[in-house]
Amino acid sequence: MSPEVPVPDIGTRRVAVYAIGGNALSDSSGMVQEDSVINAVMDDIVNLLEAGFRVVITHGNGPQVGDLLLMEETCMAERRRNGLDDWVAATQGMIGHSLSLNLEKHLMSKHRPERTAVVLTRVEVDGDDLAFATPTKPIGPVLDDETILEMEWDVATTINGPRRVVASPSPLRILDIDVINSLLDLNAVVFCCGGGGIPVLADIGLTGIAAVIDKDRVSSLLACEVDADVLVISTAVDAIYRDFGEVNQKKLSTISSDEARQMIEQEQLPPGSMGPKVEAMLHAREFSDEMTVVLCQPGEAISAVRGDSGTTLV
């Protein structure tokens, strides 16, 4: 068992960034479903609060933003179409609203004093980022052959099947970080950077751009910008595995930065699934040796922070 990570008392409150995977929020309308996964996520957030952390939460939107784009392109062909950045903003609002209502119920049932805030968050990207030339970010549902032939989309094969892919540039700066920090100071539980944040160019004013920033990468940047003590990457898999899916797969309770980079180079961590999560963990570790950086499944956040489950980057 790993050494126990001390949990702060209420007088020395620290900050935890908790990243929720978009595939845990898979209702096609973008609304959050009442299910065991979401309840486990809510329990994680409340447990972190009760352990003395202020909590800021990010979430994915890949399934939802893709579904909305598909709806627009198949049902609204004669109307002016929105940009991809508009749909990222829309899913931020829908998912953030639903998550915040859900969490408010849990907070009230536990007689917690905190209330929630949802921040429509803009994130600066570089218009010359090479990602715009090579779309890699999967969004929307698995596609059938007819849809692939009908739509003029970039499509890539993922572990679940063929999906639409879009540009996923690196986040440079969270433009609304001062608002987020102010809300944390007011003891709010903050939902922000939904779907990786709304991608914008900031050369002359602010201009939205067609892209979806990776949620885990922006979560790492957020953890650095709020000077977080803990970064929790919550995902469907309970830990990082070596030789995942093979007969000899090995669960890793801890992983070093060197070992993680080696596994990425060996293509053991696919770019469409676990790869970006581990890269985000590495980015956080490069920023701070003191930050506790863990990956776990919903419901195990506090256990992972203590080193008793999930995978800790050491």
Active site residues: 22-23, 137, 215, 277
Cβ atoms < 10 Å from Cβ of 209: 18
Can you say whether the dihedral through the CA atoms of 108, 110, 113, 115 is positive or negative?
negative
